[in-house]
Amino acid sequence: MKSFDHDLIQKVNNSKKILVTSHIYPDGDAAGSVMGLVRSLRLTGKTVDIAWFNGVGDRFDFLFEKESILTPQELHPGYDVVMILDIGSEDRTGFQDIIRELGCSIINIDHHATNTGFADYDHVDIDASSTCEVVFHLIKTAGWPLDASVGECLYTGLVTDSRHFQNEGVTADTFLTAAELKKLGIDSAPIIRRLVQNRTAIDLRVLGLALSTFELLCNGQIAIVVLRDKDIKALGADYRHAWSSGIFSYLVSLESALVGASFIEAEAGKVFCEFRSKLGFDVSRIAARFGGGGHRGASGCSQEKPIEQFVQEITDELIRQVTQFKVST
């Protein structure tokens, strides 16, 4: 693991009031790293607030029971530091202008290779499987409290961002981190049930729609699915059900598929694209080219343009890169 800057830890230790946030539409790593860090820092006696542009969503709300999540409009100056987790670029918070108006130092904790180094204190460990893994080592290095309540959050993010320890970026240290979290006394079974055995009927209907309409390109090396807003709504769902349906990993589970791309149309003309890949094919570069980012094997981006145009642009780029790609031996 990459060693931590002493000045970063001292900045947190010398702060009394801290704000913690992460990216819009949070995944398990964002939710777990934020809540895990918040719980640890509160055990030191610090005042710690959480703010999120659009909330945490239903899938990970079990980590935030009885927690007050501030909206950006509720924030006011008075914080000593803002800690931004699991974000490659500051705009992914959705309220970077408000953060800057708070007038305090910013700490950036992340593991994405596409991170732009936007903060006053940056710690980006691209060898870590998740930001939760980075936060775990930060807490240990700083000597902050680490109990089962903290461990529950970090374990959630570790499991989800490693795709249940299936990502190619998983290392021996990932398993050692999981083992240390288990030693804290956490019960991992309920966490796993919530993550993989807690889908709704609507989730499955969205999954069914996607599986019945996906297409294959480049001799099956590229799998794409396009979920349009009208079709999603016809199921009584909305665009967020695409994330809880599990479709992203399904596409790349196809034996011939090197990469899967899922296009989800939301209201007001916004289109999301989620990539998953295997065998070392780097989708983070493609996502970054279209204003997003993420991992080598799991990335995403979004733009406001007609879905047909977005699909064509990304598909053309995928075909170009897949055609040139050679699997490492």
Q: Is the pLDDT of residue 145 over 80?
A: yes
- In sequence order, the 6+-apart residues with CB closer than 8 A to the CB of 12 are 18, 41, 81, 83, 107, 142
Query: Class assignment of domain 6-196?
Result: alpha beta
Cα dihedral across residues 177, 119, 93, 265: positive or negative? negative
Confidence (pLDDT) at 195: 80
Segment 185-204 mean pLDDT: 87
Q: What is the pLDDT of residues 250-270, one digit of tens each?
A: 999 999 999 999 999 998 789
Structure-block tokens of residue 111: 């593991």
The average confidence (pLDDT) of the chain is 93
Q: Is the pLDDT of residue 138 over 70?
A: yes
Confidence (pLDDT) at 60: 87
Confidence (pLDDT) at 259: 97
| CA 139 to mean position of chain CA atoms | 20
Confidence (pLDDT) at 161: 87
Residues of the chain with CATH 3.90.1640.10: 6-196
The 3-state secondary structure of the chain reads CCCCCHHHHHHHHCCCEEEEECCCCCCHHHHHHHHHHHHHHHHCCCEEEEECCCCCCCCCHHHHCCCCEECHHHCCCCCCEEEEECCCCHHHHCCHHHHHHCCCEEEEEECCCCCCCCCCEEEECCCCCCHHHHHHHHHHHHCCCCCHHHHHHHHHHHHHHCCCCCCCCCCHHHHHHHHHHHHCCCCHHHHHHHHHCCCCHHHHHHHHHHHHHCEEECCCCEEEEEECHHHHHHCCCCCCHHHHHCHHHHHHHCCCCCEEEEEEECHHHEEEEEEEECCCCCCHHHHHHCCCEECCCEEEEEEECCHHHHHHHHHHHHHHHHHHCCCCC
Structural contact between residues 153 and 161, judged by C-beta atoms closer than 8 angstroms: no
Residues of the chain with CATH 3.10.310.30: 201-324
Q: What is the pLDDT of residues 149-173, one digit of tens each?
A: 999 999 999 998 888 887 777 889 9
Structural contact between residues 260 and 293, judged by C-beta atoms closer than 8 angstroms: no
Q: Is the pLDDT of residue 73 over 80?
A: yes
CA nearest neighbour of 32 among 125, 129, 124, 142: 129
Q: What is the pLDDT of residues 18-61, one digit of tens each?
A: 999 999 888 899 999 999 999 999 999 999 999 999 888 778 88
Q: Is the pLDDT of residue 329 over 60?
A: no
* Domain covering 201-324, topology: Diaminopimelate Epimerase; Chain A, domain 1 (3.10.310)
Confidence (pLDDT) at 164: 83
Banded model confidence at residue 328, pLDDT cuts 50, 70, 90:
low
Structure-block tokens of residue 219: 């001799």
Q: How many residues does the chain have?
A: 329
Confidence (pLDDT) at 294: 80
Q: What is the pLDDT of residues 217-235, one digit of tens each?
A: 999 999 999 999 999 999 9
Q: What is the pLDDT of residues 200-219, one digit of tens each?
A: 999 999 999 999 999 999 99
Confidence (pLDDT) at 163: 80
Segment 63-82 mean pLDDT: 94
